[in-house]
């Protein structure tokens, strides 16, 4: 569900366009935490009319080349996400922000979008099982021993903490102070 209805957005935009109140005062009057959404609504309304305030209900798939053109325009002109969205007749500047972050992280591959959610594959479970099978029996036992040692050490510390939390915390404070002094002397 949308946070603000189209009617509410339209009412605020029209109120702003009448010129009685600015962005900040309108936000305060209507209990909106920031004036930024109002700025975006006004710009979208000016560019696209009432259609600019509508929530998108249909998923539109953009070609990779279009996404690259949008990002290239933004880089060359220094335009904001909102300005770029208006320039390319798009209603959602946040979509461009998503493309930008995907492009920076993954390159062009990040802009190729597979439809739908990714499948819940069992690859991670399968690889863990394969790793265990490739280890020799002796290595598996050593690994299990190490895990058991760690568990016992953890349980001992937990028991000591439960019996006397103040002494346990004091002991660790002293250790951290000693470590700080060693670092300072280096």
Q: At residue 115, does pLDDT exceed 80?
A: no
List the domain range (segments joined by +) for residue 47: 1-55
Who has greater pLDDT, 132 or 33?
A: 33
Looking at residues 25-54, what average pLDDT do you find?
Answer: 82
- Confidence (pTM): 0.47
The C-alpha atoms of residue 169 and residue 175 are separated, in whole angstroms, by 10
What integer pLDDT is reported at residue 1 of this predicted model?
A: 36
The C-alpha atoms of residue 89 and residue 77 are separated, in whole angstroms, by 17
10 lies in some domain? yes
Q: At residue 46, does pLDDT exceed 80?
A: yes
**Is the domain of 17 the same as that of 48?**
yes
Who has greater pLDDT, 113 or 69?
A: 69
128 lies in some domain? no
**Is the domain of 39 the same as that of 65?**
no
**Is the domain of 63 the same as that of 51?**
no
102 lies in some domain? yes
Confidence of residue 2 (pLDDT cuts 50, 70, 90): low
What integer pLDDT is reported at residue 164 of this predicted model?
A: 79
The C-alpha atoms of residue 1 and residue 13 are separated, in whole angstroms, by 21
Q: Cβ distance 103 to 64 under 8 Å?
A: no
Count of structural domains within the chain: 3
Looking at residues 33-55, what average pLDDT do you find?
Answer: 80
Looking at residues 114-138, what average pLDDT do you find?
Answer: 65
């Amino acid at each position: 569900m949308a946070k603000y209805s189209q009617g509410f957005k339209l009412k605020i935009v029209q109120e702003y366009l009448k010129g009685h109140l600015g962005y900040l005062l309108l936000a305060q009057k209507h209990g909106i935490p920031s004036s930024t959404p109002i700025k975006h609504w006004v710009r979208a309304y000016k560019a696209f009319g009432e259609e600019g305030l509508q929530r998108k209900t249909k998923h539109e798939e953009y070609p990779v080349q279009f996404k690259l053109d949008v990002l290239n325009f933004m880089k060359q002109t220094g335009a904001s996400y909102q300005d770029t969205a208006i320039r390319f007749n798009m209603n959602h500047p946040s979509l461009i922000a998503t493309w930008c972050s995907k492009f920076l992280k993954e390159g062009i591959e990040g802009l190729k979008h597979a439809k739908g959610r990714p499948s819940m594959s069992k690859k991670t479970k399968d690889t863990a099982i394969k790793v265990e099978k490739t280890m020799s029996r002796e290595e598996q036992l050593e690994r299990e021993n190490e895990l058991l040692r760690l568990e016992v050490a953890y349980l001992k510390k937990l028991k000591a903490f439960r019996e006397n939390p103040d002494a346990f915390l004091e002991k660790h404070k002293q250790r951290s102070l000693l470590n700080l002094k060693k670092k300072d002397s280096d």
